[in-house]
Structure 1
């Protein structure tokens, strides 16, 4: 499946704000957003043209796609799913995105970034309710228990994750770093999203083509 494999810092610069795609680097002075806070490319510094209504909506959608690391087709699928759910469509969309396995692994502190979480899931390091799941887009539910496979717990990667755990997990998940496991105890809420997102703009964009 096609996926962006270039420098992820370019994605932050294109959106004009940190998307925290590089874990620890994003919090240091080495972050390119601190030194080159303008769009990438030859004419990046000259991009001052005011965006149209469509352009503003598109940039918001692209920001969310890059934040969660998903392509356009899955993004549309999630929107259609959220649109059929009870409640506010935009908040439903974020709730669905938060329930992806790669995001849950990251939220539990079992990976330093969503990019790393996706890689670890694909390599088959995690169990969901005792069964191996290697699909990053797998949608989890309240009550699901996610844990690192017993064999994988001995790897240097997870030892490093344990030693550098920050312990700042959101309220909707429980994390047990000693046993490298966690549980989803509630649905995520809008307040759990720590990135400035105007989800109503995404809904307006997709609603035009319904």
Structure 2
């Protein structure tokens, strides 16, 4: 690091004007624009939000990648803070009104634990003075996680049906796959107690590995079928 003079980063007063033992210099290593100083309290409060932090980090990472250099304070303010804050406010409104799209849920909440989601919703509800929507939204988010788990098994079953040319009524499987395919759609309510959902939700990672192995062993299975006729 290049040597830096003290008076380059501090406002220095003459010794005759100060008490040396009690003196605290004023740091001026860099100047912060007044516009940025004005939003710092708001930025600090926003950083309590898990959603805002995810948006902030994503926006900042994309900007750093595009510019491939250190950002200026003005760029942080205009190209990270402003778009992050606007997107955060928009997603807040969608979350409250139940208009968040499945693609947005996938991007921001899919790997978030329910208690973290509850904390995020409570934080938003307290700021807006309305918490009536929270339990319904958490239930919708949990149900979508449930549908995603079921769709993983449904996708494997669909692949088995295709690979082995199995015939029959697989409409329920197809409907589940259609649900997760339309990522621009909003939440839909499904009957989690129905037989198809109960069966698919019971498929764990070990079962999925077995289904994958069954798909990969098609040639062997076909050979066994032929030789045992």
TM exceeding 0.5: no
Q: Which has more strand, going by share of residues?
A: 1
- Work out which structure has the larger RCO, using CA pairs closer than 8 Å and 6 or more positions apart in sequence: 1
TM-score of Structure 1 vs Structure 2, range by shorter chain: under 0.3
Give TM-score, length-normalised by structure 2: 0.26
Q: Which has more helix, going by share of residues?
A: 2
